[in-house]
Amino acid sequence: MFFRASFFLFGLVWITMAQLLAQDEKEKTTALKDLLSRIDLDELMKKDEPPLDFPETLDGFEYAFNEQGQLRHTKTGEPFVFNYKEDLHRWNQKRYEALGEIITKYVYERLEKDCNLKKEILPVDATEDEPKSFIYVSEDALSNPDKIMVLIQGSGVVRAGQWARRLIINEDLNSGTQIPFINRAKEEGYGVIVLNPNENSLEVEKVSDPAKKASPDASDEPAEKRERKEERENKKKKDFYEKYRNPQKEREMEHIPIRENGSPEEHTLYAWDYFISKSLAKNIFIVAHSYGGLSFVNLMINREAEVKSRVRAVAMTDSVHNVWHQEASKSIQDWLREHCCNWVSSPEPLDTLVDPMLNDCPRVSAGTEKHELTSWKSFQSIFKFFSNALKDHEDDSSSSPVTTRSSHRIKHEDF
C-alpha cells in the first residue's frame, strides 16, 4: 500500500515538473520568436554576403590563360578557386557563373580570331528586333566539295565552341573547348560547322503588370479576401526563408524563344535545313556530345533519307540518345549500327568495346570515367574513325555496283 502511494506521489511530482518545463520551453520559444521578429534578417545577411557585382573581363577577375591554355591567377599563378569566400556558397556560385559568361565570350573570340570562323545569324531571315541565335562556320563550310565536319555540344550553359565550362576553367582550353577538333579538321581538309544548340531564347528583365494586381473593390468578397490572406501568410513564410537563403533579391527574368530554334532539337534541324544540307560536300561527318547525340537521332527521324545519303559517320561521346524513347525506326537503328560509334565514360582502356545498353550503335570506352572528358579523350580515335569510314565509302563507290553493308562496319581493331 505504501509502495503504491509513493509511486503515485512520484508520478504526480514528475508530471508537475514536466508541465513546468514545457511551460518554460514554450515561454522560451515565444521569446525567441519575438526576438527574431525584431531582427531585420535581410540587412543582417547582406552584411555577411558581399554585393553580387562581379567584373566583366578576365583582367577584372585577375585571371588569364597561360601558354598551355590553363586559367591562372595573374598575381599568384594559382588555378581558379571556387570557394573564394568561405561559407558563402551562393555568392561563390554567382561569381563562378559571372566568370563563365566571360569565358563564353573569350571562346567566341578564339573561334573568330584563331580558327577564322565566321558567325551566321539564325533565323536566316530574322528581323532586326526579334531574338536571334547563331552558329559558326569555316570559310569553305558550304563550298568544300569533299567533306565537312559538324560539331554538336551537349546541353546546359555551354555555348558554341565549348564541350564543358568546368573543364575550361579547371583544366584547360584543349579539353574543354572544340578548338582542337576545329583546327585538326581544317588541317585534314574538312569544312567546319559549329552548332550552338543551347542558345534558344533571349533573356530579358520581367516587367510587372499592374493590371494583375488585386483590385481594392474586391475586399468586400469574403472568399477572395480569405484567399488573399492565405496568400499573404504563405508569402510571409516564403520571404522569411528567402531572407536567410537568398538575401539579395535578383531581377526577375523571362525568356523569349528564338524562332525555329527554341530547343536543341529544333536548332539542329534548322542548321541542317539551312546550312549543312546546302553544303556542296559529298561527305558529312558529325561529332555529337551527350545531348547532341539525342539531337542527331531526332534529326535522323525527321530527315532520314537526306542524312543517310550524305552522312558517312557519326562519333558520339557519352550520348544520351535513346532509340526506343525517341521511337527511331528499325531502318534508322540499322544505319546507326553501321555508321555510328559512341565513346562512353568507362574505366576500360580507350577504344575497348563496352557491352551495349541498347542494340543501336557500338559503344567503346573513351578511356575516362568523367562524362565531360569523353570528347577530348577520344579525340585521336574519332579522327581515325572518320578516316576509315571515308576510305570504306570510297572503296565501295569505286568497286562493283553491288556493295555489302559489312564494308561499313566499324573496324575496332584499327583503333
Return the active site residues.
290
Name residue 415's amino acid.
F
Do the Cβ atoms of 366 and 373 come closer than 8 Å? yes
For helices 222-245 and 41-48, give the axis angle rounded to 10 degrees. Answer: 30
Burial class from Cβ neighbours inside 10 Å (0-12, 13-18, 19+) for residue 262 reads middle
For helices 379-398 and 179-187, give the axis angle rounded to 10 degrees. Answer: 30
Burial class from Cβ neighbours inside 10 Å (0-12, 13-18, 19+) for residue 273 reads middle
Q: Which three cell numbers stand for residue 224?
A: 477572395
Bond prior to 123 in cis (omega within 30° of 0):
yes
The rounded distance, in Å, linking the Cα atoms of 375 and 153 is 10
